[in-house]
Amino acid sequence: WSAAVMRKVRRALDDLLAEMRSLPNRIRQYDAYNNLHDQVKGYISGHSLLSELKTEALKERHWKLILQRLGIKITFTELTIGVLWDHGVLNRKKEIGEILTVAQGEMALEVFLGQVRDRWMKQELELVLFQNRVRLIRG
């Protein structure tokens, strides 16, 4: 999965569909052709979901949840696009979308907290003695 390039996958699916359309009419009448054609079109329509799954926002904890929901019992390093397709990732767009939304929200928070931490690490505060009892921040 980590080595998959989604543009190449999309191009390969488009090429396959174009080749299928160029077949003679007598072949295009078979049920097998229609089933394969529908399956390829389904993969193309679900391509955007797979592209979204390539985001850096998805951490290991999110992938564990996705794999659990899909019923996949292999490790993330062994994961392929075919395994995702075989386990119905395209039929669970809503569930996967919810996990993606949570992951993107968590990433936004991580970025914001990093910016706050950086700001306060650079900030210098000058303390002054007030009425010889309490130290206050100047300014």
At what angle are helices 31-45 and 6-21 packed, to 10 degrees? Answer: 150
Q: pLDDT for 62-118, tens place per residue?
A: 999 999 999 999 988 889 999 999 999 989 999 999 999 999 999 999 999 999 999
- Rounded to the nearest 10 degrees, how much is the dihedral formed by the CA atoms of 36, 40, 43, 48? -170
pTM of the entire predicted model: 0.74
Res 100: pLDDT: 95
